[in-house]
Structure 1
Amino acid sequence: MAFEFIKQKLTKQKTLSRYRQRTCIQQSKVNLSTVDNEESAQIIVDGKTYINFSSNDYLGLNNHQQINQAMQEGIDKFGLCASASSLVTGFHYAHQALEDKICQWLNQPKCLLFSSGFTANVALFQTLGQEVNGDRCHFFLDKLSHASMLDGAFASKAKVQRFAHNNTEQLAQLLSKSNSDHKLIASEGVFSMDGDQAKLTALQQLSHEHKAWLYLDDAHSIGVIGEQGQGSSSQLIASNEDSSTSHIIMATFGKAIATSGAFLACDENLHDYLINFARHYIYSTAISPALAWATIKSIELIQQQQWRRDKINELSHLLIQQLDPSITIIPSESSIHAIIIGNEQKALTISQQLKKQGIWLTPIRPPTVAEGSSRLRVTICANHNENDIKHLAKSLNEALI
């Protein structure tokens, strides 16, 4: 029978406790607060209400009244759809305004918008990973880099090597053995499954020493880290050196920024190169101009409302204090707090126990994480409150001890 492997692979996933199914969220926000437009972190599934600890809405901005109003204003001004690729007639004033806003926010020369972070990552690596006059580009990726970074890198013509997570000593050894004139170091700013940060100072120093470019996927730190939420790239030291040590920033809009899409921020030459050669950009309809208009408003709120970042930190510290000391949680200065369970079935069982307590916490299993490291990935958001955290900690203590 044709494609019989499909059924076989699904059966194997079920046997391994790795079978995945979608959950239909009937209502993603309930009990709207009138204070500072802050939303509840509750969701409704199959008629039951849960506190959501699996959301990437880190700053609690989803469904914010001012962002919604900006979206409607954008529809009225530009329409909902771009109706063409950016190189035909799809590049609207709203897109230019958003790109300018991001450049100013991150102090970057140029910016390019994409439909998703996955698309932006794949586009960058595939387009940059060339062989020029016999000299292959050489990519060095942290072992825990996002799947889209790996897919893009391995689909390119570049030589790809992965260094152990945050092991800058190993990275230095790999760089010293490379003869390529076109080297790129790539890492997430905040790692999506562990919540820990990249060693940015060491990565930047190595990029200077080896004349390599530095690429940061800041999807999980944009909005959450930095004095105005600029992400982990705000911790990079400004340099007046030439473009041989450029850094490139990618971040998504669909997490803390609470809209949809992504951007790449870079120097002018790379910006123009991607416009001319990145197939994912050239042949895709531009993101909605109304969405771009709403994203500008979201970034303005992120810049102005430091209290959202402060609240994430306060609630994160409260969770650590309330958890039993025997529970191991990966150290993190971000919204992401990973509790390693190990076995897939055990992680599923604990998740089901938490649902009975009104807590929605999706277990993360292989291949998203390494075998034997299935986990509960807790995300603390600005729309949680102290009672939410205390209830979570109490339920985790009962389930894990």
Structure 2
Amino acid sequence: MAFNFLTADVEQQKQCARYRARQCVAEQNGRYVKINDKSYLNFSSNDYLGLNHHREINQALSVGAERFGTCASGSSLITGYSYAHQALEHDICDWLNKPKCLLFASGFSANSALMQALGHESSQLYLDKLSHASLIDGARSSAAKVKRFLHNDIEQLQRFLAKNQQTENQDNELNQVIVSEGVFSMDGDQADVANLAKIAQQHQALLYLDDAHSIGVIGNKGQGSSSLADIDVVMATFGKSIATSGAFVACDNNLAEYLINFSRHYIYSTAISPALAWATKKSIEIIQTEHWRREKIIELSKLLTEKLDKKIKLIENSSSIHAIVIGDEITTLDVCQQLRNKGIWLSAIRPPTVPQNSSRLRVTITASHEVKDINYLANCINEVIQ
């Protein structure tokens, strides 16, 4: 029978403890998730600021649906670009101090689109080793030369850039793009944004940052990595801290014009829901003013670090994401199940998402959590990890 690999490959995933299955969520908020009629303390949510279910955002969604409809009814280059989209783009430009902004259906789509756009045959892309799959896929499908530097290894990146400039014929156009993430999704650590921006300027390269896990959480007004340095191109998603759906790319006028004319992801995709755009506009307004949400994440993250036993291998950082490295897949799944038995919902992250023998629990702390939640989580982790 044809396509035997479909069942064979899935069976192989089961054999090596890498099988993935969906869970139907009946209800969720920043603290709790209800699955199979059981409620759990939720430490797997990317709703970092606890804005999902926010009354004002829900009201904005309703108003947007009444005024603009729930569907864009076309791509942005036909009749899908509404006033709701334009207003949201303007707000993002003001927020991040960028000339232009374009909206995309998802972060994966935006990253793929930008890697293909910047990945001209005359370009060289330098990606951090832990860059998101969408960045890697987009870069590999581009016409550019692609090189990956060791995670957060600034010195190796500089060597790559210097070597490329020495070997490249001066008569040829040299288009170099440094690609990284503001906060890395699996480790929760940050890129050295200020240093990356400095290096990019020194080598006349563009700096591209995926700020999906930084936006809203970092910066006095939640500007993400843009609060740390002047970044050439910023991509961020709406489905995490901003608590809606979709993504944006903030850049200069030239790149925006190029994307509008040549990016297949942008040209041939239906625009995001204008009602969601209107709700996103309200969410960003709240993010900029409600500083306590970011302060609470910092406070609770510090508490978790203090409460965990020293034998626990925690990748310490100042973001919402806290990785507890366990090692092999089977042990990680067992620990995850023990925690679920205690009413804690955590995700077991396994290869190929993370390197071999670095399977982990990915703990996300949100502004909706309370001190008692963190205390309970730490006590349970200390108990089940021997």
Common fold: TM-score over 0.5: yes
Say which is worse superposed, 154-163 or 195-204, in terms of deviation.
195-204
Separation in structure 1 between the aligned mates of residue 194 and residue 76 of structure 2, nearest angstrom: 36
What residue number does 1:316 align with?
A: 301
Separation in structure 2 between the aligned mates of residue 95 and residue 379 of structure 1, nearest angstrom: 30
RMSD: 0.8
* Correspondence 1:38-77 to 2 at 5 A: 41-77=31-67
SS of 1:71 mapped into structure 2:
helix
What residue number does 2:260 align with?
A: 275
Separation in structure 2 between the aligned mates of residue 232 and residue 149 of structure 1, nearest angstrom: 18
What residue number does 2:212 align with?
A: 219
Aligned-residue offset at 1:169: 0.4
SS of 2:191 mapped into structure 1:
coil
* Correspondence 1:198-213 to 2 at 5 A: 198-213=191-206
What residue number does 1:126 align with?
A: 116
Residue pair 2:98, 2:250 contacting (<8 A) in 1 also: yes
Residue pair 1:61, 1:256 contacting (<8 A) in 2 also: yes
Residue by residue, what CA displacement relative to the aligned partner does 1:199-245 show, whole Å, maximum 9, x if unpaired? 11221111011110000000001000000000022100x5xxxxxxx
Q: Which stretches of structure 1, 4 residues or more, deviate above 6 A after TM superposition?
A: none
Residue pair 2:57, 2:283 contacting (<8 A) in 1 also: yes
Relative to the length of structure 1, the TM-score reads 0.93
What residue number does 1:111 align with?
A: 101
Residue by residue, what CA displacement relative to the aligned partner does 1:336-379 show, whole Å, maximum 9, x if unpaired? 00000110011100000000110000100011111111000000
| Aligned equivalent of 2:371, options 369, 386, 393 | 386
Relative to the length of structure 2, the TM-score reads 0.97
Matched AA of 1:21: A
Residue pair 1:189, 1:233 contacting (<8 A) in 2 also: no
| Aligned equivalent of 1:195, options 158, 177, 188 | 188
Indicate whether 1:82 and 2:72 are aligned: yes
What residue number does 2:313 align with?
A: 328
Aligned-residue offset at 1:127: 1.8
What percent identity do the matched residue pairs reach? 60
SS of 1:149 mapped into structure 2:
helix
Residue pair 1:195, 1:338 contacting (<8 A) in 2 also: yes
Separation in structure 2 between the aligned mates of residue 9 and residue 280 of structure 1, nearest angstrom: 30
Indicate whether 1:145 and 2:134 are aligned: no
Residue pair 2:313, 2:326 contacting (<8 A) in 1 also: no
Indicate whether 1:28 and 2:13 are aligned: no
What residue number does 2:148 align with?
A: 162
Residue pair 2:123, 2:176 contacting (<8 A) in 1 also: yes
Indicate whether 1:284 and 2:277 are aligned: no
SS of 2:151 mapped into structure 1:
coil
Count residues in correspondence: 379
What residue number does 2:4 align with?
A: 4
Aligned-residue offset at 1:295: 0.1
What residue number does 2:245 align with?
A: 260
Residue pair 2:305, 2:316 contacting (<8 A) in 1 also: no
Separation in structure 2 between the aligned mates of residue 232 and residue 249 of structure 1, nearest angstrom: 8
Residue by residue, what CA displacement relative to the aligned partner does 1:29-68 show, whole Å, maximum 9, x if unpaired? 3xxxxxxxxxx51111111110000000000000111000
What residue number does 1:305 align with?
A: 290
SS of 2:27 mapped into structure 1:
coil
What residue number does 1:371 align with?
A: 356
Matched AA of 1:7: T
Residue pair 1:216, 1:233 contacting (<8 A) in 2 also: no
**Structure 2 unmatched runs, 5+:** none
Residue pair 1:220, 1:255 contacting (<8 A) in 2 also: yes
